[in-house]
């Protein structure tokens, strides 16, 4: 049986077109059981840090399995989502990075740049990303645990920086 996913999507106004396109794809994908859209919509102008953090919190709280976020470059969304404890977010603009983000790093958040890649590549990367699942028996597990330990140590030292 194929794994199913509960997903969050979000963007700032620089990523709205791709976010809407990807959300439509996800709603029609049999691997996806739920899609929560945290914005922006229409003429909203919510800054990307607010959207990235909101989506990441939903993942961290276990209300969704993963998130796809879009801004101009994908970078600001990744930085914002990574400020939420327990979340690993990455920007990927090619198939190999998308694959390794999950298989090597157990990233739950994929961020894309609408000003960096074309819409068909963005859609393809999200489709491919849904096929990957982290293997806790892989050699990468120990590295992900080290990342988690760094995050815990940062929290003990006074919170996110």
The two structure tokens encoding residue 15: 């990523």
Contact between 42 and 56 (Cβ < 8 Å): no
Q: Which residues are CB-contacts of 53 (< 8 A; sequence separation ≥ 6)?
A: 80, 81, 83, 84
Query: CB burial class (10 A; 0-12, 13-18, 19+) of residue 124?
Result: middle
Q: Which residues are CB-contacts of 132 (< 8 A; sequence separation ≥ 6)?
A: 98, 99, 102, 103
Has 107 been annotated as catalytic?
no
Query: Helix or strand or coil: residue 60?
Result: helix
- The span from the CA of 82 to the CA of 56, in Å, is 8
- Write down the catalytic residue from 8, 51, 71, 107: 71
Catalytic residues: 71
């Amino acid at each position: 049986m194929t794994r199913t996913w509960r997903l969050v999507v979000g963007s700032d106004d620089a990523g709205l077109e791709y976010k809407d396109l990807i959300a439509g794809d996800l709603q029609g994908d049999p691997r996806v059981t739920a899609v929560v859209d945290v914005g922006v919509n229409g003429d909203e102008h919510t800054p990307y840090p607010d959207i990235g953090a909101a989506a990441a919190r939903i993942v961290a709280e276990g209300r969704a399995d993963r998130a796809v976020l879009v801004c101009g470059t994908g970078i600001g969304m990744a930085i914002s989502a990574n400020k939420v404890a327990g979340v690993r977010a990455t920007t990927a603009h090619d198939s190999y990075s998308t694959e390794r983000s999950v298989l090597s790093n157990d990233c739950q958040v994929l961020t894309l740049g609408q000003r960096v890649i074309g819409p068909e590549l963005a859609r393809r990367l999200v489709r491919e990303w849904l096929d990957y699942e982290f293997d806790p028996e892989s050699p990468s597990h120990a590295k992900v645990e080290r990342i988690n330990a760094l995050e815990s140590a940062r929290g003990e030292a006074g919170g996110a920086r």
